[in-house]
């Protein structure tokens, strides 16, 4: 049985990946410092003898044995990565060094979960992997944007200098069950507000666009990328190329929830991207991958998750949330 290390394994994406790997009869070592990850995300896995949970911060070196590494450790929503920006940068940079050093020692594949944020507020549309981006290096989002860019630099330097079989994927907006209700992401914000019949907060005029990929499709792409030959490094965009405005998303969620919520507009945050749409031609060619879950179907599954979460919220904590987009 092969062993797979998943850093950030108790997070939104990481927990789904751990679940998928266990279904493929892998032994999974889930590492998380629980800054944004949650034990409840992996509770259903704790009884599996092939699953091991370790509380650890990857800014400290790891001394483990594994056959593959997925590096998903980093806060991914503005609310969380801006809470402690210095730690966010450390997680991206020192964390990348530590997982790369471990992969180098063990001579194994390591996959970096990078982000569409490396493109910044893009001047090209849609965004292909050869676009270098338009990123503010000293803004409030830079700890994440530039941290992820530096991590990519390290991954490719380890490929060139040490011949580490490293791989990089750039993840575009992903949604689904186990998102945190107060994570500041647009899908979770809108769903919680709609289910609580609160005004839905839209920043700007709502004309900015995003492309939303359901979590199951994303995990399939990660597994396929890891399975590519050692000389396939990427970067590869992973996301749904179907573009939608933020306002349309809010209206669709109101429709699907039957909510009485109204739209409330507020000023656009600094450096918020106006457009986001992946060019996934490389993913189609290299991985034979394209998303299969439509937005309405994926939102319906995600809304059902949040409905269950709200029903179990005995003290009304979730209903008191007024999340920021």
The secondary structure of 166-224 as a DSSP string is: EEEEEE--EE-TT--TTS--HHHHHHHHHHTTPPEEEETTS--EEE-EEHHHHHHHHHH
Cis, bond preceding 126 (omega within 30 deg of 0): yes
Which among 245, 174, 252 has a CA at the least distance from the CA of 209? Answer: 245
Is the distance from CB of 37 to CB of 73 less than 8 angstroms?
Answer: no
CA 307 to chain centre: 22
Give Dmax over CA atoms of the chain in angstroms. Answer: 58
Q: Which of 70, 81, 119, 144 is catalytic?
A: 144
Name the token pair of 62: 């790891």
Q: Which residues partner with 200 through β-bridges?
A: 263
- Tell me whether residue 144 is one of the annotated catalytic residues: yes
Name the token pair of 108: 């194994």
Determine the 3-state secondary structure of 134 from DSSP.
strand
d(Cα 70, Cα 273) in Å, to the nearest integer?
A: 27
The H or E element containing residue 14 is helix 12-23
The strands making up 236-238's β-sheet, listed across from edge to edge, are 51-55, 27-32, 3-7, 68-71, 109-115, 166-171, 236-238
DSSP 8-state symbol, 116: G
Question: Which residues are identified as catalytic?
Answer: 144
């Amino acid at each position: 049985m092969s062993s797979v290390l998943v850093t950030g394994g108790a997070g939104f994406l990481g927990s789904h990946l751990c679940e998928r790997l266990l279904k493929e009869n892998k032994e999974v070592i889930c590492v998380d410092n629980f800054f944004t990850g949650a034990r409840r995300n992996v509770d259903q896995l704790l009884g599996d003898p092939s699953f091991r949970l370790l509380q650890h911060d990857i800014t400290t070196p790891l001394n483990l044995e594994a056959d593959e590494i997925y590096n998903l450790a980093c806060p991914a929503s503005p609310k969380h990565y801006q809470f402690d920006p210095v730690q966010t940068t450390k997680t991206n940079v020192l964390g990348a060094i530590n997982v790369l050093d471990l992969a180098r020692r063990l001579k194994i594949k390591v996959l970096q979960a990078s982000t569409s944020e490396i493109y910044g507020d893009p001047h090209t549309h849609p965004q292909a992997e050869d676009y270098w981006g338009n990123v503010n290096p000293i803004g409030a989002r830079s700890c994440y944007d530039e941290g992820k860019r530096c991590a990519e630099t390290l991954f490719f330097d380890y490929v060139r200098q040490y011949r580490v079989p490293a791989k990089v994927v750039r993840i575009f907006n992903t949604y689904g069950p186990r998102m945190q209700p107060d994570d500041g992401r647009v899908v979770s914000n809108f769903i919680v507000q709609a289910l609580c019949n609160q005004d839905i907060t839209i920043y700007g005029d709502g004309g900015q666009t995003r492309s939303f990929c359901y979590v199951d499709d994303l995990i399939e792409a990660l597994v396929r990328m890891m399975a590519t030959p050692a000389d396939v490094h990427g970067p590869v965009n992973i996301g749904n190329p179907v573009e939608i405005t933020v306002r349309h998303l809010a209206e669709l969620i109101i429709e699907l929830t039957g909510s009485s919520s109204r739209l409330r507009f507020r000023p656009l945050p600094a450096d918020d991207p106006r457009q986001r749409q992946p060019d996934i031609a490389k993913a189609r060619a290299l991985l034979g991958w394209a998303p299969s879950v439509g937005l309405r179907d994926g939102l319906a599954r995600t809304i059902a998750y949040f409905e269950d979460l709200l029903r179990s919220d005995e003290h009304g904590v979730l209903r008191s949330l007024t999340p920021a987009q």
